[in-house]
């Protein structure tokens, strides 16, 4: 039996009315085929299986031959339709009905034995989708895990934490299984119900370790259970209601910045047609907006570098004075006098030096978070990069990012001593190494931001060098 819609194609077996395949037409895997949401065949219960309190009854239901209401179902442009499965054998009567609605599926399940309704649960799992080896290698990869909205909080449970036994969830608003970019979520009737998350051990090959995979379940009532299966697209999930958008980890305090950035990235892509160039353009726009704040940081750095030699003379004179010695107050007075001679104020300079960084950091973190949760980057190519959500195949972007950081540090005026400067020069090497396996979209963003910062610093240092830091170069040459 097959169900076709504009966004998915679903296949069922009449044996057990079991789900065999759920492919997403708008998302493709590494081979260019529609993304498969049903995990590879595993023994035991599978997605949309029904579970009762009787293991023998469960086995019989999985082997029973159900009669479908139709062999094929086309949902058309409206995206609505109904598929029913029915089974009657001996004292058992079972029905499963799937009512397809735009974005959601209402699943109704009935299992009667001897005319009495049996307790039953609807399952999804183990896991969701079939992540490739390349996806698992990416830094920050999130394997399938259990997720649920309990009360007002989203709780995420990796399968390792469920190995000890099932986790029962009371008053669950929804529960499911998620991966980095996809999710399958069960919503109990009226948004309140009993749920469960557990882990099952998957069979492994000779050269691999056994893996744990999460399974989600929700208790079924006479009212239908709603089901969402698809990409973790924040704006689409927000339109479906039931607080489903909260499955996308945009962050609590930084989410109000991340969400508009996601919308803006998609808007830019609608006019550019490529997510790589969209990241570049959006990064430039944000950096242009932050340029005035960086201006103050550059000016502050040049001023501090200018007075650095005199500052070091004062600090060296008091180097052996204990921290609690009253003479330390004299050192602070001399430093304050030094600032005053150069038309500066200690408190103001500290504020000017730190405030731009404090104001820009939330936007930098938000942009970083947006690129890690945006499903739009999955499978999006850019120049030599086939997929911006995967690592750069030639590692060019992380290497260039490290080189650009090194150039920035060499150009930036500093009051650090030579030993401290050498230590700081190791940072670009360390970060480039850390980000070799990071998603290429993140490295592209960081590289673009660094190149803009270098350009701004070159221009401003040439324009301001004579008025702010002109004497600094002469002092360095005399030294």
pLDDT in tens, 121-166: 999 989 888 887 777 777 777 789 999 999 889 999 999 999 888 9
Rounded mean pLDDT, 268-281: 94
pLDDT score of 473: 41
- Do the Cβ atoms of 283 and 448 come closer than 8 Å? yes
Average pLDDT, the chain: 84
pLDDT band of 437, cuts 50, 70, 90 = confident
Rounded mean pLDDT, 403-409: 83
Rounded mean pLDDT, 381-388: 92
CA torsion 104→11→38→164, rounded to 10°? 90
Give the separation between CA 472 and CA 465, rounded to whole angstroms.
9
pLDDT score of 459: 83
Q: Determine which of 4-18, 52-66, 93-107, 331-345 has the lowest per-residue pLDDT on average.
A: 331-345
Rounded mean pLDDT, 465-479: 46
Q: Is the pTM of this model over 0.75?
A: yes
Phi, psi (rounded to 5 degrees) for 59: -60, -40
The β-bridge relationship of strands 120-124 and 116-117 is unpaired
- Do the Cβ atoms of 397 and 444 come closer than 8 Å? yes
Give the separation between CA 454 and CA 477, rounded to whole angstroms.
24
pLDDT score of 142: 79
Rounded mean pLDDT, 296-307: 70
pLDDT band of 323, cuts 50, 70, 90 = low
pLDDT band of 289, cuts 50, 70, 90 = confident
Beta bridge partners of 198: 215
Architecture of domain 2-249: Distorted Sandwich (2.70)
With pLDDT > 90 as the criterion, what percentage of the chain qualifies? 42
Q: What are the residue ranges spanned by the domains of the chain?
A: 2-249, 271-305+350-478
pLDDT band of 359, cuts 50, 70, 90 = low
pLDDT score of 417: 58
Give the separation between CA 200 and CA 96, rounded to whole angstroms.
25
Rounded mean pLDDT, 330-341: 75
For the stretch 194-250, pLDDT in tens is 999 999 888 765 555 668 899 999 999 889 999 999 999 999 999 999 999 999 999
Give the separation between CA 267 and CA 261, rounded to whole angstroms.
10
pLDDT band of 353, cuts 50, 70, 90 = low
pLDDT score of 268: 94
Sheet holding 2-4, edge to edge: 34-36, 18-28, 8-13, 2-4, 72-74
More confident residue, 318 or 231: 231
**Would you say residue 466 has pLDDT above 60?**
no
């Amino acid at each position: 039996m097959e169900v076709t819609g504009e966004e998915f194609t679903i296949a069922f077996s009449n044996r057990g009315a079991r789900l065999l395949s759920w492919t997403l037409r708008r998302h493709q895997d590494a081979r260019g085929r529609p993304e498969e949401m049903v995990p590879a065949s595993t023994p035991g219960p599978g997605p949309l299986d029904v579970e009762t309190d009787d293991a023998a009854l469960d086995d019989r239901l999985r082997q029973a031959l159900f009669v479908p209401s139709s062999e094929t179902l086309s949902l058309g442009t409206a995206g609505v339709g109904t598929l029913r499965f029915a089974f009657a054998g001996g004292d058992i009567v079972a029905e499963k009905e799937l009512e397809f609605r735009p974005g959601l599926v209402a699943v109704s399940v009935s299992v009667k034995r001897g005319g009495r309704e049996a307790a039953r649960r609807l399952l999804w799992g183990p896991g969701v989708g079939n992540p490739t080896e390349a996806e698992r290698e990416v830094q920050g990869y999130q394997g399938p895990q259990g997720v649920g909205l309990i009360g007002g909080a989203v709780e995420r449970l990796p399968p390792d934490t469920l190995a000890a036994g099932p986790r029962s969830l009371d008053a669950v608003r929804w529960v499911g299984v998620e991966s980095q970019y996809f999710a399958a979520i069960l919503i109990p009737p009226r948004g309140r119900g009993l749920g469960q998350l557990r882990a099952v051990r998957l069979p492994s090959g000779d050269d691999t370790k056994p893996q744990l995979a999460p399974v989600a379940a929700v208790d079924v009532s006479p009212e239908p259970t709603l089901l969402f299966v698809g990409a973790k697209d924040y704006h689409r999930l927000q339109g479906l209601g039931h607080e489903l958008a909260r499955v996308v980890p945009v962050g609590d305090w930084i989410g109000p910045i991340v969400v508009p950035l996601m919308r803006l990235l998609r808007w830019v892509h609608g006019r550019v047609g490529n997510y790589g160039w969209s990241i570049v353009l959006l990064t430039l726009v944000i950096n242009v907006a932050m340029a005035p704040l960086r201006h103050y940081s550059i000016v502050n750095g040049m001023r501090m570098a200018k007075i650095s030699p005199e500052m070091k003379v004062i600090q060296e004179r008091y180097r052996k004075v204990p921290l609690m010695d009253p003479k330390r107050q004299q050192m602070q007075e001399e430093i304050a006098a030094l600032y005053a001679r150069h038309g500066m104020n200690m408190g103001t300079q500290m504020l000017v030096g730190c405030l731009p960084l404090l104001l820009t950091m939330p936007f930098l973190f938000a942009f970083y978070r947006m690129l890690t949760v945006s499903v739009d980057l999955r499978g999006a190519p850019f120049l030599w990069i086939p997929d911006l959500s995967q690592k750069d195949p030639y590692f060019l972007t992380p290497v260039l990012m490290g080189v650009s950081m090194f150039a920035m540090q060499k150009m930036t005026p500093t009051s650090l001593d030579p030993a401290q400067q050498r230590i700081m020069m190791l940072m670009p090497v360390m970060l480039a190494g850390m980000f070799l396996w990071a998603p290429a979209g993140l490295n592209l963003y960081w590289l673009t931001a660094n190149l803009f910062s270098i350009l701004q610093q070159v221009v401003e240092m040439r324009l301001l060098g004579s008025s702010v830091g002109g004497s600094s170069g002469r002092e360095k040459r005399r030294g």
